[in-house]
Structure 1
Amino acid sequence: MSYHEDYVRYVTVPKHYHSANQFEAEDIEKVGDIDFDPFDTTETGGRSFLYFAATIANLTAFVSGVSVGWSSPVIPKLSGDIEPENNPLPEPLTPNQQSWLGSLLPLGAVFGPVIAGLIVDRIGRKKSLLISTLPFIAAFIIAIFSHNVNLYYVMRVLCGLGLGAVFTVLPMYVGEIAEDSNRGALGSFLALFMCMGILFSYCVGPFVPLTTFNIICVVPPIVFFPIFLVYIPDSSHSLIARNDEAGAEKALTKFRQKSSRAVHNELLEIRDSVQESLASKGRIIDLFRSKGLIRALMISLGLVSFQQLSGINIIFFYAQTIFSLAGSSVPAEISTIIVGCVQVLAGFLTPMVVERTGKRAILIFSAIGMGISMALLGFYFYVQHNATITTYFFWLPILSLICFNITYSVGFGPLPWAVLGEVFPPNMKSVASTITAAFCWFLAFIITNIFGTVTAAVGIYGSFWLFSCFCVIAFLFVYMLVPETSRKTLQEIRKILDGAYFV
Structure 2
Amino acid sequence: MYKLKIYLEESQKNKARIRDLKKSYNLKPFSMSMGLFFFQQFVGIGAVLFNMTLIFQSVGFDLSETMSTIIVGVVQVLALVPSVILMDITGRKILLIGSAIFMIFSEGALGLYFYFADHNPSVAENVSWLPLASLIIYILAFNVGFGPIPWLMAGELFSPEIKDLCISIATMFNWIFCFVVTVTFEPLQDLLHDYGVYWMYGGICILSLLFSIFIVFETKGKTLSEINAHFGSPSGAERNEDKTVSISAIT
TM-score by length of 2: 0.85
State the Cα deviation string for residues 171-195 of structure 1 (Å, max 9, x = none). xxxxxxxxxxxxxxxxxxxxxxxxx
Query: Kindly, what percent of the aligned residue pairs are identical?
Result: 36
Pairing of 1:15-34 with structure 2 (within 5 A): none
RMSD over equivalenced CA pairs, Å:
2.1
Q: Distance in 1 between matches of 2:70 and 2:55?
A: 13
Pairing of 1:338-353 with structure 2 (within 5 A): 338-353=71-86
Counterpart of 2:220 in structure 1: which amino acid? S
From 172, 175, 178, the counterpart of 1:444: 178
1:409 aligns with 2:143: yes
Match of 2:218 in 1: 484
Q: Distance in 2 between matches of 1:414 and 1:20?
A: 41
CA contact (8 A) 2:107 2:138 kept: yes
Counterpart of 2:128 in structure 1: which amino acid? F
Q: Distance in 1 between matches of 2:131 and 2:70?
A: 14
1:311 aligns with 2:44: yes
> How far 1:384 sits from its partner (Å)?
1.2
Mark the runs of 5 or more structure 2 residues left unpaired by the alignment: 234-251
Match of 1:44 in 2: none
Once structures 1 and 2 are overlaid, which stretch shifts more, 413-422 or 381-390?
381-390
1:473 aligns with 2:207: yes
Q: Distance in 1 between matches of 2:69 and 2:200?
A: 22
From the two aligned structures, give the one with the greater helix fraction: 2
The 3 A distance-change label for structure 1 pair 358 and 457 is same
Pairing of 1:318-337 with structure 2 (within 5 A): 318-328=51-61, 331=63, 334=67, 337=70
Mark the runs of 5 or more structure 1 residues left unpaired by the alignment: 1-18, 22-239, 244-270
Which of the two has higher C-alpha Rg? 1
State the Cα deviation string for residues 85-120 of structure 1 (Å, max 9, x = none). xxxxxxxxxxxxxxxxxxxxxxxxxxxxxxxxxxxx
Match of 1:431 in 2: 165
1:382 aligns with 2:115: yes
The 3 A distance-change label for structure 1 pair 397 and 336 is farther
Pairing of 1:5-16 with structure 2 (within 5 A): none
CA contact (8 A) 1:378 1:464 kept: yes
Q: Distance in 1 between matches of 2:75 and 2:43?
A: 18
Paired residues, what number?
231
Match of 2:244 in 1: none
Q: Distance in 2 between matches of 1:20 and 1:356?
A: 44
CA contact (8 A) 1:277 1:426 kept: no
TM-score by length of 1: 0.44
Counterpart of 1:427 in structure 2: which amino acid? E
The 3 A distance-change label for structure 1 pair 443 and 314 is same
State the Cα deviation string for residues 212-238 of structure 1 (Å, max 9, x = none). xxxxxxxxxxxxxxxxxxxxxxxxxxx
Other structure's SS at 1:394 match: coil
Pairing of 1:87-98 with structure 2 (within 5 A): none
Counterpart of 2:49 in structure 1: which amino acid? F
Q: Distance in 2 between matches of 1:418 and 1:360?
A: 12
The 3 A distance-change label for structure 1 pair 277 and 423 is farther
Question: Which protein, 1 or 2, shows the higher relative CO under an 8 Å CA cutoff with sep ≥ 6?
Answer: 2
1:300 aligns with 2:3: no
